[in-house]
Structure 1
Amino acid sequence: MQLAAGPVEGELGPSGYGGRVQHHVIVFAFDGVRLMDVAAPWRSSPPPRVTRAPTPCGCAPPAAGTSPRPPACGSRIAADVPVERVDRADTLVVPGPADLDAFRKEPALIDQVARLAATAQRVAAVCTGAFALAAAGLLRGRRATTHWEHAAELARLHPDIQVTPDAIYVQDGPVLTSAGVTAGIDVCLALVEQDLGPEAARRVARDLVVFLQRPGGQSQFSAASRTTATRHPVLRPLLDAIAADPASDHSPQALAGHAGASPRHLSRLFRDQTGSTPAAYVETMRLEAARILLEHGESVTSAARRSGLGSDETLRRTFARHLGTTPSAYAARFRTTRTAPPSTRTATP
């Protein structure tokens, strides 16, 4: 992959600069980078009447990179100059690596991120690019997010970061982090709005046919919850029973009776093995069942009844609390084209 860097010229409005200025937006590319994480900032730049610097993609910030090898998808990205020659980055955008383990074996990449960030007025990460910012010390003491699949790992490796796993993007001072892949568009739209105003951001959003501000959090896009991979002889049969028929009576008392254990002992087992209470675990599995039903065309009322959540109102409250959206909005976005009625059984390992 060839490497590049260069200025983007635009009229900066609400941010207070005024007039026509050079604003250097650098997208850092490297071996194994996710191409979509690079393309999202490129494609989210304002149209040519606002952004004036020609680049390989037509109307977007250039990339700075580190090697002639291709990104994770096997494609090659044409650029202008190697990252070592970049001495200014008003806005630095760091895409995510496809292979975090391989990325951690390249400390030189982290050094380059730290060096470029030192010249930047603000820094943004796309998806697992947050790990690069964290390794460079840029997220210490800050709020941040990343792809839902890696949020727990980010929190574990960097306890000095306040990880917000459900956010589409998080801005803490001059540092922005975003969720997986397409959330790079969301964070870049936020940057466009900050620099060029809401109308410019709306034009870009309309051009991309995306929300200017996406409703809800990233949990609604995450993979379905799965029963905990425990082999505990008391708990495993209960978890399987909840997954097989979430609408049955799974009150703490009923579960304790099935297990032949006291409610207190069972609650302790749940906390040790699942990190949750029996009631919270059952609600999570019922929520997943409702999601599956809605995705396959069931009505809100039917999904509430068949999942065990009971009423439309309970289903709405549960969706709002866990997913930050409504059942109807979720169904509109995720309903499958297939009409075969699904089982309410939730996924197991």
Structure 2
Amino acid sequence: MSRVVFLLIPRVHLLDVAGPAQVFSTAADLGYEHVLSYVSEETPVATVQGLPLHAELAWPHLEPDDLVIVPGWRGPARMARADTLYRLREHHAAGGTVAGVCAGADALGRAGLLDGRRCTTHHASQDELARLYPRARVVRDVLYVEDERVVTSAGVASGIDVALHLLSTRHGPYAAGRVARAMVVYARRQGASPQISAMLRHRGHDDETVHRIQNLIDTRFTERLPLSMLADAAGCSERTVTRLFRHATGLTPLAYQTALRLERAEHLLGQGATTETAAREAGFGDARMLRRLRARM
């Protein structure tokens, strides 16, 4: 039986705590035994969402097989005590794994655990992380990174992904799959997956006509979608569709559809599908097209 210890920083994000905690709690329910503990330098611990959390002030005894997770928080951290950072360093030096969710990477950086290691954080904070810890190797636009038992993730929902990854490394992919199904997680995402999907990456505009076209492409991206069909759905000419779409997203409708297909294919490949299967299920005519696009990337 191993212990999972959450170090809670004031103004912690609830989902950064609850997501990974749910993963290991569900795993325990399914017979993969874990004991969850919550520690902090003060209690109750304020959360960004307004719900205070109780945590213990005293740390439990840690073994090398135990896991320490630092969920993210908003604003400057008040975790300044040297003994807290020492505990993180000590656990890692003893062979333990330390993980930071979102801003939790900052705590690992303060503890000196990011020096010379690959790491990541929320896409809005990657530049700041690189500035604060120049000896760290910040990997941008990925969900999570593991380097010598130091694990960092993009934060918020990606805390679930990294927790499933950690569960998989300890108990195997079957265990992680059982937990994901029990939690109704639609798909297990790999660490190298981008933080923002192709759908969301091109939705930052306010053109309702283009949003309607995107809705159609999103739901039927594996099909052949002639420009005339998109024009009929938008109630305008084909030329206007192309002009509006490019102005709003920077892409043509076909390029947007191809991006969705490629993202789907990459996910399938990450799950073990062959190139031929991934190409077919993503809507490509054959595997050669998929290989050319991946090589171009």
TM-score, normalising length: structure 1: 0.57
Q: What is the rounded CA distance, in whole Å, between the counterparts of 1:299 and 1:192 in structure 2?
A: 37
Aligned to 2:271: none
> Against the structure 1 CA distance between its residues 173 and 290, is the aligned structure 2 distance closer, same or farther, given a 3 Å change threshold?
farther
CA root-mean-square deviation: 3.4
Structure 2 counterpart of 1:34, from 13, 16, 27? 13
1:75 pairs with 2:51: yes
> Against the structure 1 CA distance between its residues 94 and 296, is the aligned structure 2 distance closer, same or farther, given a 3 Å change threshold?
farther
1:299 pairs with 2:278: no
Is the Cα contact below 8 Å between 1:148 and 1:180 reproduced in 2?
no
Q: CA deviation at 1:38?
A: 1.7
Q: CA deviation at 1:200?
A: 1.1
> Against the structure 1 CA distance between its residues 149 and 112, is the aligned structure 2 distance closer, same or farther, given a 3 Å change threshold?
same
Aligned to 1:178: 153
Structure 2 counterpart of 1:143, from 118, 137, 154? 118
Among the aligned pairs, what percent are the same residue? 30
Amino acid at match of 1:307: F
> Against the structure 1 CA distance between its residues 70 and 121, is the aligned structure 2 distance closer, same or farther, given a 3 Å change threshold?
closer
Q: What is the rounded CA distance, in whole Å, between the counterparts of 2:37 and 2:30 in structure 1?
A: 17
Is the Cα contact below 8 Å between 1:37 and 1:182 reproduced in 2?
yes
Give CA-to-partner distance per residue, 1:132-160, whole Å, 9 cap, x none: 11121111111111111111111122222
Is the Cα contact below 8 Å between 2:97 and 2:149 reproduced in 1?
yes
Alignment of structure 1 residues 38-187 onto 2, 5 Å: 38-45=17-24, 46-52=27-33, 61-72=36-47, 73-79=49-55, 82-83=58-59, 86-88=61-63, 90-99=66-75, 101-103=76-78, 109-187=84-162
Aligned to 2:256: 315
Q: CA deviation at 1:71?
A: 2.6
How many pairs were matched up?
Answer: 234
TM-score, normalising length: structure 2: 0.66
- Note the residue ranges of structure 2 that are not aligned, 5 or more in a row: 218-226, 235-240, 266-297
Alignment of structure 1 residues 235-274 onto 2, 5 Å: none
Amino acid at match of 2:22: R
Residue aligned with 1:25, SS:
strand
Residue aligned with 2:152, SS:
strand
> Against the structure 1 CA distance between its residues 32 and 310, is the aligned structure 2 distance closer, same or farther, given a 3 Å change threshold?
closer
Amino acid at match of 1:220: S
Is the Cα contact below 8 Å between 1:47 and 1:204 reproduced in 2?
no
Amino acid at match of 1:40: G
Amino acid at match of 2:132: L
Residue aligned with 2:145, SS:
strand
Give CA-to-partner distance per residue, 1:69-103, whole Å, 9 cap, x none: 323233333455613x544462211111222x244
After alignment, is 24-33 or 101-110 more displaced? Answer: 101-110
Q: CA deviation at 1:115?
A: 3.6
> Against the structure 1 CA distance between its residues 295 and 33, is the aligned structure 2 distance closer, same or farther, given a 3 Å change threshold?
farther
Aligned to 1:339: none
Residue aligned with 1:219, SS:
coil
Give CA-to-partner distance per residue, 1:232-267, whole Å, 9 cap, x none: xxxxxxxxxxxxxxxxxxxxxxxxxxxxxxxxxxxx
Aligned to 2:281: none
Structure 1 counterpart of 2:174, from 155, 179, 199? 199
Is the Cα contact below 8 Å between 1:91 and 1:120 reproduced in 2?
no
> Against the structure 1 CA distance between its residues 199 and 318, is the aligned structure 2 distance closer, same or farther, given a 3 Å change threshold?
closer
Q: CA deviation at 1:316?
A: 4.0
Q: CA deviation at 1:26?
A: 1.6
Q: CA deviation at 1:218?
A: 0.8
After alignment, is 149-158 or 65-74 more displaced? Answer: 65-74
Q: CA deviation at 1:298?
A: 4.3
Q: What is the rounded CA distance, in whole Å, between the counterparts of 1:33 and 1:221 in structure 2?
A: 29
